[in-house]
Amino acid sequence: MSLSLQGITKSFGDEVVLDHLDLHINEKEFLVLLGPSGSGKTTALNIICGIERQDSGNVLFSGHLMNDLPPDKRPFGLVFQDYVLFPHMTVFENVAFGLKARHRRGDMEGRVLETLKLLEIKALKDRYPKSLSGGEQQRVALARALVLEPELLLLDEPLSNLDARLRENMRLDIKRLQRSLGITTLFVTHDHTEAIIMGDRVAILHDKKIEQIGEPGEIFFKPKTEFVASFVGAENRFRGHVSEVNADGNVATIASSDLEIVASLDEKASVGEHVCVFIRPDDINVVPNPPRGMQNVFRGNIEDMYLTGSFMRIIVAVKGHHFISAVTRQAATDLNLANGKDVFMTFRPSAVKCMKRPFCSCPEAKE
């Protein structure tokens, strides 16, 4: 059961939210729609399930046009960001609500109990939402969607209200559940960690359209645009020009102010051509002694270090530039890294993403 959005355009007043959006989700695929807040993700989801009507374009499911079908006639299940559980109903009654509303009462009790068991919340069937934890409420909302046996599951930032531990557990649970049921799924989020963990493919929504779509590894390690590179974590950005290209045309030296960065090339570049380079923090190593036999080795000074979960983020000043590196806490301890310490920073040419200008959000080069 595949879903296709063809040329979807939607405006609210004078504001265009989606502009000729095209997207295809394959049967049994788990596709993540990733984008910043306000990019139109929820609007796209509402158009798919029929809550909003597009100004133009088509929604097709398994080749059938959905445009004129009301939400209750579309074979889709939707899980909202805020769960939207009825406070005066028990868990059982909340999950059964959709079956009653769609007049599907045949063995309703058995189907509800089976779904509650699947989500491991059968013991909660007589409790009310106010007595449930955030994770339990999320499972009830998911059960309410799945009990309808939808052919397409739509999830609108369903984990955003959970704490970090619950969010991590629910990511794995939802993915396992999707695989076991074989249900086509569209998961909307602004969190690129969720996208890389959960998605079979990831679609980046930006500037009212899909900017890039592909497998998580392709999106995160081979971004095609400046926005995608920045949004998925390539925080180190430098503008410069190509000063040298090797004989094979697949490696270039990029001059950015008084830095020279060696980069692998995905496409041909010419000497003198202006480019931007991007490097992910986790691709940059910080060591106390100069490594041998490596390219892209720079001496610098640690200006700041701070903890983010199991990683230390390290700000290294190099010739007036600032690089951000991410290393494990254990590595930082073993290497005796500390604020004010002189260090050497290195990264592989293949870790450098080189893109052609213009990229107006990049800092001005000091050339």
pLDDT digits (tens, 9 = 90+) for 150-166: 999 999 998 888 888 88
Q: Which tokens sit at 184?
A: 């086509």
The mean of the pLDDT values for the chain is 91
Nearest to 139 by CA among 165, 107, 173: 173
Q: Which tokens sit at 84?
A: 């939207």
Residue 322 gets the label, from left (phi > 0), alpha (psi -120 to 50) or beta, of beta
Nearest to 25 by CA among 227, 142, 183: 183
Dihedral, 266, 199, 151, 89 alpha carbons, nearest 10: -150
Distance from C-alpha of 32 to C-alpha of 66, rounded to nearest angstrom:
21
Q: Which tokens sit at 88?
A: 């005066």
Find out whether 239 and 363 touch, Cβ atoms under 8 Å: yes
Q: Which tokens sit at 202?
A: 């990831």
Find out whether 190 and 35 touch, Cβ atoms under 8 Å: yes
Nearest to 153 by CA among 182, 121, 195, 189: 182
Q: Give the pLDDT score at 164.
A: 80
Q: Which residues pair with 251 in a beta bridge?
A: 264
| pLDDT > 50? residue 52 | yes
Residue 210: band (very low, low, confident or very high) from pLDDT cuts 50, 70, 90: very high
Domains, the chain, with CATH or none: 3-228 (3.40.50.300), 234-356 (2.40.50.100)
Q: Give the pLDDT score at 359.
A: 45
Q: Give the pLDDT score at 91.
A: 95
Distance from C-alpha of 271 to C-alpha of 141, rounded to nearest angstrom:
57
| pLDDT > 50? residue 360 | no
Sign of CA dihedral 354, 355, 358, 362: negative
The CA radius of gyration of the chain, in Å to the nearest whole number, is 25
Percentage of residues of the chain with pLDDT beyond 90: 72
Q: Give the pLDDT score at 283.
A: 94
Q: Which tokens sit at 359?
A: 């990229």
Q: Which tokens sit at 329?
A: 């806490």
Nearest to 326 by CA among 344, 299, 308: 308
Tens digits of per-residue pLDDT, 273-330?
889 899 999 999 999 999 998 999 999 999 999 998 889 999 999 998 999 999 999 9
Q: What amino acid is encoded at 3 in this protein?
A: L
Distance from C-alpha of 157 to C-alpha of 82, rounded to nearest angstrom:
9
| pLDDT > 80? residue 357 | no
| pLDDT > 90? residue 255 | yes
327-330 CB contacts, 8 Å cutoff, 24+ apart: 327/285, 327/286
Tens digits of per-residue pLDDT, 109-148?
999 999 999 999 999 999 999 999 988 999 999 999 999 9
The answer for residues whose C-beta is within 8 angstroms of residue 280's C-beta and 6 or more apart is 233, 234, 235, 236, 351
Residue, of 331 and 356, whose pLDDT is higher = 331
Find out whether 195 and 330 touch, Cβ atoms under 8 Å: no
The answer for residues whose C-beta is within 8 angstroms of residue 330's C-beta and 6 or more apart is none
| pLDDT > 50? residue 53 | yes
Average pLDDT of span 239-254: 92
Q: Which residues pair with 188 in a beta bridge?
A: 33, 156
| pLDDT > 50? residue 365 | no
The answer for residues whose C-beta is within 8 angstroms of residue 139's C-beta and 6 or more apart is 119, 120, 121
Distance from C-alpha of 159 to C-alpha of 189, rounded to nearest angstrom:
9
Find out whether 121 and 136 touch, Cβ atoms under 8 Å: yes
Tens digits of per-residue pLDDT, 27-43?
999 999 999 988 999 99
Tens digits of per-residue pLDDT, 84-111?
899 999 999 999 998 888 777 677 899 9
The answer for residues whose C-beta is within 8 angstroms of residue 103's C-beta and 6 or more apart is none
